[in-house]
Amino acid sequence: MLARGAVRLVGPSALAFAGAAAVVALFGPARGLVGGALLLALGVWLAFLLVFFRDPDRLPGTGIVSAADGRVRAVEQENGRWTISVFLGVLDVHVNRLPLDATLEGMDGSGAGFRPAYRPEASGNVQRRYRLRTEIGPVEVVQITGIVARRLVSFVAPGWSGHKGERFGMIVLGSRTDVLLPADRAAPTVRVGDRVRAGSSTIARVLP
């Protein structure tokens, strides 16, 4: 399964690959040397797009789940909130999912620049903040751009309600996603360096 909106990018590449394949088939290896090189290049590009835009179905995990695939880069408490930050590599699934049942109260864009997403100073990069109303109180999910990833995609609008694990957006190419939880209602269950998967990996438990 491909992420929402991916067909408009993958489709033309697939057609170009089919055209190059037809050239090689028509003229053969000797006369189709250029076509063969083009076929190889297009094949590599098409394979990359299919991997990057993949969007597998997921069964929701227990507790509060990760909003992104990747590796946990920080687990920090400040001003009464836990921040669990996940760095997404280029080959990770880039679709973001709700960490728990929620209603989207608002979305805010802020920041400037495109510093490497794995570095602390990336907290000031161009970003999009999703303000969620949940059973444990206000929760925020922040999509943060990186040095390569500069396009933030939203599938939803304020007023939308979804269940844990539902897709709400994606980030194009490697980047970072932070989940901010009220410290009096949630306790992290992951550590820096852990690998997580959006929608299925538990990152925190709900406190009574």
Please report the pLDDT score of residue 2 as a whole number: 54
Contact 179, 39 (CB under 8 A): no
Tell me the C-alpha distance between 98 and 67, whole Å: 6
Least confident of 23-27, 55-59, 93-97: 23-27
Contact 88, 69 (CB under 8 A): yes
More confident call, 204 vs 116 = 204
Q: What residue segments make up the domains of the chain, in order of their start?
A: 7-52, 64-206
pLDDT tens column, 113-137: 766 666 777 777 889 999 999 999 9
Residue positions annotated with a catalytic role: 175
Tell me the C-alpha distance between 88 and 72, whole Å: 9
Please report the pLDDT score of residue 30 as a whole number: 47
Please report the pLDDT score of residue 193 as a whole number: 97
Q: Span 64-206: which CATH code?
A: 2.70.70
What proportion of the chain, given as a percentage, has pLDDT over 90?
A: 53
Give how far Cα 54 sits from Cα of 69, 104, 160, 194, Å. 12, 25, 24, 22
Of the pLDDT bands very low, low, confident and very high (cuts 50, 70, 90), residue 184 is very high
More confident call, 73 vs 11 = 73
pLDDT tens column, 10-47: 556 556 656 656 666 666 554 555 556 666 676 666 56
Angle, helices 33-52 vs 7-31, to 10°: value is 160
108-111-113 Cα angle (round to 5): 140
Token pair for 46: 């098409």
φ, ψ of residue 15 in degrees (nearest 5): -65, -40
Give how far Cα 208 sits from Cα of 66, 86, 129, 183, Å. 20, 26, 27, 12
φ, ψ of residue 98 in degrees (nearest 5): -65, 135
Please report the pLDDT score of residue 126 as a whole number: 85
- Give the residue among 156, 154, 158, 157 at the shortest CA–CA distance from 171: 154
61-208-69 Cα angle (round to 5): 25
Mean pLDDT of 40-60: 71
More confident call, 150 vs 106 = 106
